[in-house]
Amino acid sequence: MADKLEPSHFSLDFAIRQSVREAPSYATTTSDQVQKRPTVVLDANENAEGNCLDKHRWLSQYLPFLRPFGVKLDSLKRYPSASQRDLKQKIAQWRNLDGI
């Protein structure tokens, strides 16, 4: 298989600013491979005061169904892991699979 998919005479370098070409690769700040994560990380659209759901209504309607999967209302403040390892493991257990 060829190393490059584009023809040797093809280049977009003329259309891309040099500063963009030289910029380092981007890794999200929530990437579990890049850094150890603090206990709580907020995304731009998250609220440090907790979730915006009506807690009483949410508890009575949905939490009983999610409780067997380890979902707690207080855990909704947390930003999920970028790798979704815990979620994948819970789904594997639920589907009786060997794991992730």
Give the pLDDT of residue 65.
Answer: 78
Give the pLDDT of residue 55.
Answer: 62
For the stretch 28-37, contacts whose Cβ atoms lie closer than 8 Å and that sit 24 or more positions apart, written own/partner, are 28/82, 30/79, 30/81, 30/82, 31/82, 32/81, 32/82, 32/83, 32/85, 33/83, 37/81
> Residue 41 class from Cβ within 10 Å (0-12 exposed, 13-18 middle, 19+ buried)?
middle
User: pTM (2 decimals)?
Assistant: 0.27
Give the pLDDT of residue 28.
Answer: 65
HSE (side-chain half, CA atoms, 13 Å) at 97 = 9
For the chain, 100 residues long, the average pLDDT of each consecutive 10-residue run is 65 84 74 57 59 64 77 62 77 81
Give the pLDDT of residue 63.
Answer: 73
Give the pLDDT of residue 26.
Answer: 74
